[in-house]
Amino acid sequence: LAPDHRTYNLLHTSLRCLGERAAATLKTRWRALHRITLSPTHIGTITQAALVLTHHEHHGRY
């Protein structure tokens, strides 16, 4: 592959790993995220609430 493509692939993989790790962390902590397929219309609201609560839990503020 050309150097540009290799750089793109490296950056894309790095970002994807961050997203997957974040999703795994949230799913480990919040059981409601395991059943997200039951309510796909609420995924944004449920995930947002989980992020706020996780942030509050770790940092003690919003």
Task: Encode pLDDT of 4-24 as tens digits.
Answer: 999 999 999 998 888 888 888
For the chain, the domains span 3-59
- pTM comes to 0.56
Q: Which residues contact 1 (CB under 8 A, 6 or more apart)?
A: 9
Task: Encode pLDDT of 20-49 as tens digits.
Answer: 888 888 888 887 777 667 677 777 888 888
Residue 62, pLDDT above cutoff 60: no
Q: Is 41 exposed, middle or buried (0-12, 13-18, 19+ CB in 10 A)?
A: exposed
Residues 10 and 13: their CA atoms lie apart, in Å, by 5
Half-sphere exposure (Cβ direction) of 43: Cα atoms closer than 13 Å: 10
